Amino acid sequence: MNVLVWNENRHEKKNPIVSDIYPKGIHGAIAAFLSEDTVNVKTSTLDEPEHGLTDEVLIGTDVLIWWGHMAHHEVLDEIVEKVHKRVLEGMGLIVLHSGHFSKIFKKLMGTTCDLKWREADEKERLWVVDPSHPITEGIGEYIELEKEEMYGEHFDIPSPDQLIFLSWFEGGEVFRSGATYQRGKGKVFYFRPGHETYPTYYNEEIQQVIKNAVQWVNNSDTPTPVYGNTNPIETISKKEKG
């Protein structure tokens, strides 16, 4: 399985707090823990040519992980089209945190994906609401993060196919923080945590969820359905018999 971790990689360049936490970038941190398990992990970032998402790269990717925030608008529409096409063809997609506002996630959801937010060093507790789902394997009742950005309802998404996690925040809000969707042949998992100013992606339970999700969204071997103009089965059958 080939996993590609895509990161905007801008906060890391502009904010020393972020680069101190993630010296190799958020993509580097995610790729590092995924490499413990998965044979092939690569990374791409916004400022590479074609954002590092060339046709060749996309065709060779089974699972794409997406982190973006301040530069969603800089992602070229034609690249978004290509990523979208690949998801519908079966490439798994994991959208993290502020990726809720990425072009690719909004294109797959069809909604604004808007929400409430607050940066106030609040405790988050992600409760498992689907304890027998493969994505929660090895996770206990909840994951606790000492400090995170708050995301609160209402979260403007289509009703998830499966609701996996619900977050509780110290400041008083709740959030649907783990949700799955099927789009075409592609499996999509949105996972809330991971604000750039906190070391969330070093948390071993968060890492476990992402590892589990990589396995779960991987679906690239399934056959392509037949579409378009078609002959009448019944008539053919009758002729063959006749």
Per CB under 8 A, does 22 bind a copy of itself? no
Among 35, 116, 202, 204, binds a copy of itself (CB under 8 A): 116
Q: Does 60 bind a copy of itself (CB under 8 A)?
A: no
- Taking Cα atoms as reference points, which of 26, 90, 94 lies closest to residue 64? 94
For residue 140, report the phi and psi dihedrals to the nearest 5 degrees: -80, -145
Q: Judged by CB under 8 A, does residue 233 bind a copy of itself?
A: yes
The count of chain residues that interact with a copy of itself, using the rule CB under 8 A, is 67
SS3 (DSSP) at 103:
helix
Binding string, residues 202-221; x marks residues near a copy of itself by CB under 8 A = -----------------x--
> CB of 142 within 8 A of CB of 127?
yes
Which secondary structure element, helix H or strand E, spans residue 65, and what is its range? strand 63-67
The verdict on 153 binding a copy of itself (CB under 8 A) reads yes
Instruction: Please give the single-letter amino acid code of residue 109.
Output: M
**Binding span for a copy of itself by CB under 8 A among 23-31, 61-69, 148-156, 202-210:** 148-156
**Using the rule CB under 8 A, is 59 a contact of a copy of itself?**
no
**Residues 66-105 contacting a copy of itself, CB under 8 A:** 88, 90
Dist CA 171 CA 196 (whole Å): 20
Instruction: Sort 110 into a burial class: Cβ within 10 Å, 0-12 / 13-18 / 19+.
Output: exposed
The three-state secondary structure class of 168 is strand
Closer by beta carbon to a copy of itself, 49 or else 232: 232
Residue 149 is a binding residue for a copy of itself (CB under 8 A): no
